[in-house]
Amino acid sequence: MNFEHSDKAQKYINLLNKFMEQNVYPNEEIYNNQLKNAEDRWSTPPIMTELRNKARLQGLWNLYIPPSLSKFGGYSLSNLEYAPLAEIMGKIHWAPEIFNCNAPDTGNMEVFMKYATKAQQDKWLTRLLAGEIHSAYAMTEPQVASSDATNIECSITKKNDKYIINGRKWFITGAMHKDCEIFIVMGKSDPNNENRHLQQSQILVPRNTPGLKIVRPLSTLGYDDAPLGHAELLFDNVEVPLENILLGEGRGFEIAQGRLGPGRIHHCMRLIGNAQRALEFVCHRSENRSTFGRKLSQHQSVKEFIATAFAQIEQARLLTYKTADQIDKLGAKDARDYIAAAKITVPKMTQEVIDQAMQIHGAGGLSDDWCMAEGFNYARYCRLADGPDEVHMMALSKQLIRRFTNKS
Amino acid sequence: MNFEHSDKAQKYINLLNKFMEQNVYPNEEIYNNQLKNAEDRWSTPPIMTELRNKARLQGLWNLYIPPSLSKFGGYSLSNLEYAPLAEIMGKIHWAPEIFNCNAPDTGNMEVFMKYATKAQQDKWLTRLLAGEIHSAYAMTEPQVASSDATNIECSITKKNDKYIINGRKWFITGAMHKDCEIFIVMGKSDPNNENRHLQQSQILVPRNTPGLKIVRPLSTLGYDDAPLGHAELLFDNVEVPLENILLGEGRGFEIAQGRLGPGRIHHCMRLIGNAQRALEFVCHRSENRSTFGRKLSQHQSVKEFIATAFAQIEQARLLTYKTADQIDKLGAKDARDYIAAAKITVPKMTQEVIDQAMQIHGAGGLSDDWCMAEGFNYARYCRLADGPDEVHMMALSKQLIRRFTNKS
Amino acid sequence: MNFEHSDKAQKYINLLNKFMEQNVYPNEEIYNNQLKNAEDRWSTPPIMTELRNKARLQGLWNLYIPPSLSKFGGYSLSNLEYAPLAEIMGKIHWAPEIFNCNAPDTGNMEVFMKYATKAQQDKWLTRLLAGEIHSAYAMTEPQVASSDATNIECSITKKNDKYIINGRKWFITGAMHKDCEIFIVMGKSDPNNENRHLQQSQILVPRNTPGLKIVRPLSTLGYDDAPLGHAELLFDNVEVPLENILLGEGRGFEIAQGRLGPGRIHHCMRLIGNAQRALEFVCHRSENRSTFGRKLSQHQSVKEFIATAFAQIEQARLLTYKTADQIDKLGAKDARDYIAAAKITVPKMTQEVIDQAMQIHGAGGLSDDWCMAEGFNYARYCRLADGPDEVHMMALSKQLIRRFTNKS
Amino acid sequence: MNFEHSDKAQKYINLLNKFMEQNVYPNEEIYNNQLKNAEDRWSTPPIMTELRNKARLQGLWNLYIPPSLSKFGGYSLSNLEYAPLAEIMGKIHWAPEIFNCNAPDTGNMEVFMKYATKAQQDKWLTRLLAGEIHSAYAMTEPQVASSDATNIECSITKKNDKYIINGRKWFITGAMHKDCEIFIVMGKSDPNNENRHLQQSQILVPRNTPGLKIVRPLSTLGYDDAPLGHAELLFDNVEVPLENILLGEGRGFEIAQGRLGPGRIHHCMRLIGNAQRALEFVCHRSENRSTFGRKLSQHQSVKEFIATAFAQIEQARLLTYKTADQIDKLGAKDARDYIAAAKITVPKMTQEVIDQAMQIHGAGGLSDDWCMAEGFNYARYCRLADGPDEVHMMALSKQLIRRFTNKS
């Protein structure tokens, strides 16, 4: 056992920290202003384009691509090596995109790398890897508990040389962006199959396909998460050619399973960056703000928060590192106990840490003068993203009962 | 001891419930849409005007005015009788305004009733009572811990026949509204007075006074709280006539103390309405949504939430009733232990109940398709409004230590 | 609505407080020493006998008997009037017995009053009311989840002119005491009855009946709760005459239901006394102990605890009062929503408050130099006594869902 | 970074697990009975002596001795390698003693190894290492906040060729045991020294020294922790020869600092063993107990507990491993941030996990039929042992504020 980063990880940590300090933190206000004053909230602010170019030139691009997929780009960083990088990028809510490392594009690119045909890759993956377009993954439906994929109602019907798609989706992250050109859609192609895990397929739907309607943006706790956004989508007799199916009919569930492991961990690491930054804000403020004749840092309850938050964040970080390592060594499927454990732990921890950090900042802490409220929203949202925590607890407990009832 | 509402209270509970069911709930979506599509987010949506007229005609207007001030209107309802009414109005975030019972106008009107001259009342109170204008109470400042009123830095300087005001305020609720015509401003008129509680004055500043700049709206957790809003204000050599002083120079602290008791309880009751409504949503959903082959109501953790939330809400409600009764019987000053207890309890309870209620609703629960996210924001904000909870804990503990160290 | 005690309640509050201060607090150490040094831990310490005589003489005896049963004694105090008295007595773990108001005797006496024949009353109730003997209520069984009474396995078989009882019970409070002369035993007399609520009977078993074996005392968190204790009992072909049945065969469930309402509330009020006393200890210590150059009362986290605990205790108290009032007005059955709410709230609150109060007292706080550890144990135990909280949450949520799905 | 145990650690994990399964678990009931029925609660039960002999023969003895002190025994296991072993031993409260790895003897032996003279080592350490005697560390005093060592009032006065010791100590673990032959006593030898960290000395006091009185055993939550116990001690003009001073006059604070690092981590690891075992009990019970027609494992709230507890335990374990590694690499002083983090995290986590695990076991879970109540007590006690958590939070926050205010 050993808790030091590999030399390679350490190298990228240093590079990334330097890039953030030189290029990103100084532009935080500019980004916010450009977004606030944009004519179209769903397009990339100019400063982002500038920063993306810089990151690519400096060799900080597609960092998330694991060794097994390194032919597609990146630097052959394992999940464990990528974890601290995701944390650093996560300290600013919009920073991962600078490095082409933002959700849901990373997960979608992995789907393309692992499950798409060469033709599909040439058409979409290439441009995604280059950061020219965005993508969306359309799974959740408003009318059913979509965390149970077998509930999905969107239909994919083969008719002659087409698939016809009908259904309603919502909370489809990234779909509001005007550059989101490709949707990976989960639906049922064989709803009567006895094997409930063979009923689903995933299929590619280009943005401008007739019948695909972007109904509206959705917000969470008042945030619309522009410019990527969360959209409600209507598929009304949307037709795509047969070649748009991913991997093959009936393999949608399989793809869904394969997609989620690393993605959840990326969320976790980014969230840890949020929590860490909030803690640092508190430390700073506690030395620079006085109430009732004393620095905040002299108030015992502020001290207790700082110490406790440090312990909570560090524990969550170690759990996430171990999870990443398990994914690297065992694959996402056999690491699902740790993936679930991280998933049910980190967003909740982050929400709680930021909640208290905001409190220590007074009313301003709730405003957008700080990034904490947005981080709070991100954490809160992640308790439901990729399935509510409760569903993951259910699955994890089942595994654990099996494991521990053999001994005691 | 007796837990039944007075006949009078019960009468107004019935009237108000009926009004809500006939007129308000059915217009919830309309209000939201009018606000969302408004040209000016800071003006009253037409449906509100319509509902206000209806409420006034039906004798549901200025319900908050206590017996001691009944010559100004209302129905001579005690704080204890008003409490359940505030809860009912609070179930919809924007509903209190329908009945001219919204913060901060109610608190401001009480200030006018208790501390203003006849001339000041004629000029401003009359129109406030009639619901023709809105008002704001400008106390909090960005650069100091304003919960300690002696930190206030805004200056009020007498010069010839004018007072000149200079300072910066923020989170001034209501100030964004285009009909907000009068600001009650707290500042220091005598910063060197040895008695730190005689340094402050409160003064009236009409909206269009030169030098008063509404800098920007502020948001909390992504909500701008339109159309009332929370504003940042700049007072740059703002001049007002001497007659605009409230009560007299050096009496600002006294007014601040007198203003806060009932106002905090009103917040608490409205928040209980929010929590109660979230609980009712959960009960409804738990019977109408299934996951993994079972209604939500069959999941033990959902049951435990429902039972626990009921107990928490009922406890908070009883504490708030008792607080209201203490104010009625002892006055706000001698009821400050209970006021503090309610203040530090109810917003936190509401935040926690709604947090879990949203979780049970899935991602949609975080969106504005439900009113829970907005209620969550309101609860979160109230943990800082009128001073952070921690300040009230400090004061309350001091009282309690004194009380309990005389016995054991 | 009104939060003042009735004159009668107030009179008894004053009398009881005076009695506690004059007679009980000064003897706290003596009682503890007598018990610690007793030859037989399961017998009444002499100081208790002395105090009981004094209490009876001063008219503070059987205070718990409600108006409807006042022919048996007491002072016709309603549950609402009795609640503050139970709190005062509860401040010392062993004090309720002084006033013949301790569990499980109070509940058992109520059973005798409501369900026993004249002959049964003459034989047992008279002596219980006089405080000459103790009693036990034997329901819980080790091998089944006894909170679901239909699981009970103890058998009651009629054979000629006898009932024969076989089974194992545990956590039978009071049964260790050498003066515990009568056991009310719940068993199944008709295990095949289609109506699962008619399978049970309750039957009287005198202590010395052959076949009744007191297997061992049980402890909770290290406390054996002497001299009353919690026993494991074995019924091995125990024979009692037919006249020992209570109310009639098949009515055991009915009696169980009738017994539990007030009993749970008595526990709650006594627990509130424990929490309140711990809070008072903290206030006292916070003024009299310094660490790192400051009184504990100057540490912000101690202040926050004191304020929060006050608010929690007061809320729990109000909930318990309201529950008592509901029992008085509607009967235990129709007050079961409030009874459940209090049951799931008060013990947990008390445990949490005392836990933190002990922490503030340092290691000594965990010892028997203070009564907090014992109060902590009492609170912890009550989360399981009369059924685990989770079972009551289940029942309560069912009621609430029904109630709230008719509106929304 | 790498999360696998070293080969050496793994070897000892396997050996220890095997030993526990073959020798310790099967004797759990026997140990408990021997202790319960012992004539002298403060002496070693025969089964313990038997098991100790077996452990020594099998090469599982003094496992805690780190590489730097390996000349004194053990197997040169680093703290990181020892951590999982302490967890395994910790699963049974009294098991560490089998391997001569129990507190406070391990910490005391380290003090002898690091700070004692050859003569002192020959006289006491040799017998401690051989498991022939026990020892105690007398620091805490009832009348002062002893977590701040500068408050210590016990006096050590040199007079001719003697030191004379006067003072009162309590919660001195191990001191009740009849084989506890040596006390390391912390006192003030130079109370007026300007440097408050040079006022203290530590000195050796053999058990039978005249004037040393073992006043009484103390309990925590009803547990006396026999046979080691926690004693109150009186030093009444106790005289020891000059050579009994440790390291030198005025160096008591230095020794105290050096003693505490690894000891706290050992507590943490043992506690994790307690929490882990409770979780395993729950898993087992959840499959073997039914309520209301369903296995406990089918209740969603039980599932959520199992999953959450797993995540909490694993996080705490990783934090403790990292702390152990930091001690190995940086020394206890420079690892004090992590030591504090583990100290404030693990006992609280363990208490919470066991609390809920007991709840799931019903009333029996609180009894000594399970080891959970005793584990709960151990966890609760550790929140105060080696200083209350709050003191460690204070120190840790100070470090963190310094660290994080240089960046952010």
Token representation of residue C290: 């310094």
- How many alpha carbons lie under 13 Å from residue D202 in its C-beta half-sphere? 26
Chain D interface, best mutation among C220, C303, C392, C394, by max D CB count within 10 A? C220
C-alpha span between C388 and D365 (Å, rounded): 12
- pLDDT at position A290 is 86
What single-letter amino acid sits at B146? S
Mean pLDDT on C271-289: 96
Q: Which residues in D lie closer than 8 A to residue A298 (C-beta atoms)?
A: none
- Per-residue pLDDT of A347-378, as tens digits, reads 999 999 999 999 999 999 999 999 999 999 99
Token representation of residue A315: 């524990």
Distance from the Cα of D67 to chain A's closest Cα (Å) equals 17
Which CATH number applies to C134-250?
A: 2.40.110.10
Question: Can you give D10-42 as a three-state secondary structure string?
Answer: HHHHHHHHHHHHHHHHHHHHHHHHHHHCCCCCC
Chain C interface with D: residues with Cβ < 8 Å = 140, 142, 145, 147-148, 151, 170-171, 218-223, 230, 289-292, 301, 355, 359, 362-369, 373-374, 376-377, 380-381, 383-385, 388-391, 394
Q: Cβ of B221 and A376 within 8 Å?
A: yes
- pLDDT at position A263 is 84
Q: Which residues in D lie closer than 8 A to residue A284 (C-beta atoms)?
A: 404-405, 408
Mean pLDDT on C186-191: 96
Name beta bridge partners: B185.
Answer: B138, B203
C-alpha span between C87 and C270 (Å, rounded): 5
What are the sequence ranges of the domains in chain B?
7-103, 134-251, 253-404
Residues 6+ apart with CB under 8 A from A81: A5, A6, A8, A9, A12
- pLDDT at position D408 is 42
The topology (CATH level 3) of A7-103 is: Butyryl-Coa Dehydrogenase, subunit A; domain 1 (1.10.540)
Q: Cβ of A322 and D311 within 8 Å?
A: no
- Per-residue pLDDT of A58-108, as tens digits, reads 999 999 999 999 999 999 999 999 999 999 999 999 999 999 999 999 999
- Per-residue pLDDT of A67-76, as tens digits, reads 999 999 999 9
Chain A interface with B: residues with Cβ < 8 Å = 140, 142, 145, 147-148, 151, 170-171, 218-223, 230, 289-292, 301, 355, 359, 362-369, 373-374, 376-377, 380-381, 383-385, 388-391, 394
- pLDDT at position D291 is 83
Note whether D59 and D244 are within 8 A (CB): no
- pLDDT at position B408 is 43
Q: Cβ of A388 and B170 within 8 Å?
A: no
- pLDDT at position A262 is 82
- Per-residue pLDDT of B156-193, as tens digits, reads 999 999 999 999 999 999 999 999 999 999 999 999 99
Using DSSP bridges, classify how beta strands D155-159 and B134-138 pair: parallel, antiparallel or unpaired: unpaired
Question: Cα D240–D242–D245 angle (5° rounding)?
Answer: 90
- Look at domain D7-129 and name its CATH class: mainly alpha
Q: Cβ of B302 and D299 within 8 Å?
A: no
Mean pLDDT on C62-89: 97
The chain-wide mean pLDDT, for chain B, equals 96
- Per-residue pLDDT of B77-133, as tens digits, reads 999 999 999 999 999 999 999 999 999 999 999 999 999 999 999 999 999 999 999
Q: Cβ of A366 and B359 within 8 Å?
A: no
- Per-residue pLDDT of C9-46, as tens digits, reads 999 999 999 999 999 999 999 999 999 999 999 999 99
- pLDDT at position A408 is 42
The chain-wide mean pLDDT, for chain C, equals 96
- pLDDT at position C261 is 74
- pLDDT at position C276 is 98
Q: Which residues in B lie closer than 8 A to residue C297 (C-beta atoms)?
A: 397, 401
Note whether A13 and A88 are within 8 A (CB): yes
- Per-residue pLDDT of B115-130, as tens digits, reads 999 999 999 999 999 9
Q: Which residues in D lie closer than 8 A to residue C366 (C-beta atoms)?
A: 219-221, 380-381, 384
Residue D55, classed as helix, strand or coil, is: helix
C-alpha span between B183 and B393 (Å, rounded): 29
- Per-residue pLDDT of C195-241, as tens digits, reads 999 999 999 999 999 999 999 999 999 999 999 999 999 999 999 99
Q: Cβ of C366 and D385 within 8 Å?
A: no
Token representation of residue A396: 């994890």
- pLDDT at position D146 is 81
E-state strands within A242-366? 290-291, 294-295
C-alpha span between D272 and D276 (Å, rounded): 6
Block means of pLDDT (10 residues each) for chain D, 408 residues, are: 97 98 98 96 98 98 97 97 98 97 96 97 98 97 85 95 98 98 97 95 97 98 97 98 97 89 90 98 94 89 97 98 97 95 98 98 96 98 94 96 80
- pLDDT at position D169 is 98
Chain C interface, best mutation among B397, B402, B408, by max C CB count within 10 A? B397
Q: Which residues in A lie closer than 8 A to residue B147 (C-beta atoms)?
A: 291
- Look at domain B253-404 and name its CATH class: mainly alpha
Mean pLDDT on C324-352: 96
Please compute Rg for chain C using Cα positions: 22
Residues 6+ apart with CB under 8 A from A326: A334, A335, A338, A339
Question: Between chain A and chain C, how many beta carbons pairs sit less than 8 Å apart?
Answer: 10
The topology (CATH level 3) of A256-404 is: Butyryl-CoA Dehydrogenase, subunit A; domain 3 (1.20.140)
- Specify the CATH number for B134-251; select among 2.40.110.10, 3.90.1150.10, 2.30.38.10, 3.40.190.10: 2.40.110.10
Question: Between chain A and chain D, how many beta carbons pairs sit less than 8 Å apart?
Answer: 164
SS3 content of chain C, % helix, strand, coil (to 5): 55, 15, 30
Chain C interface, best mutation among B18, B82, B312, B315, by max C CB count within 10 A? B315
E-state strands within B124-211? 134-138, 155-159, 162-173, 180-188, 200-206
Look at residue C408 and tell me whether its pLDDT is greater than 50: no
Residues 6+ apart with CB under 8 A from A279: A306, A309, A310, A313, A353, A357, D400, D404
Of all residues in chain B, the one with the smallest CA distance to C316 is: B315
Look at residue B407 and tell me whether its pLDDT is greater than 80: no
Distance from the Cα of D318 to chain A's closest Cα (Å) equals 6
C-alpha span between B277 and B273 (Å, rounded): 6
- ipTM, two decimals, is 0.96
Distance from the Cα of B58 to chain C's closest Cα (Å) equals 23
Look at residue B150 and tell me whether its pLDDT is greater than 90: no
**Which conformational region is residue A152 in: left (phi greater than 0), alpha (psi within -120 to 50 degrees), or beta?**
beta
Token representation of residue B392: 């009230």
What single-letter amino acid sits at C193? N
Q: Cβ of D380 and C368 within 8 Å?
A: no
Distance from the Cα of A279 to chain B's closest Cα (Å) equals 18
Closest CA to C293 of A300, A360, A282: A300
Using CA atoms of C270, C272, C275, C281 in order, give the dihedral in degrees to the nearest 10: -80
| Superfamily (CATH H level) for A134-252 | Butyryl-CoA Dehydrogenase, subunit A, domain 2 (2.40.110.10)
Q: Which residues in B lie closer than 8 A to residue A148 (C-beta atoms)?
A: 291-292
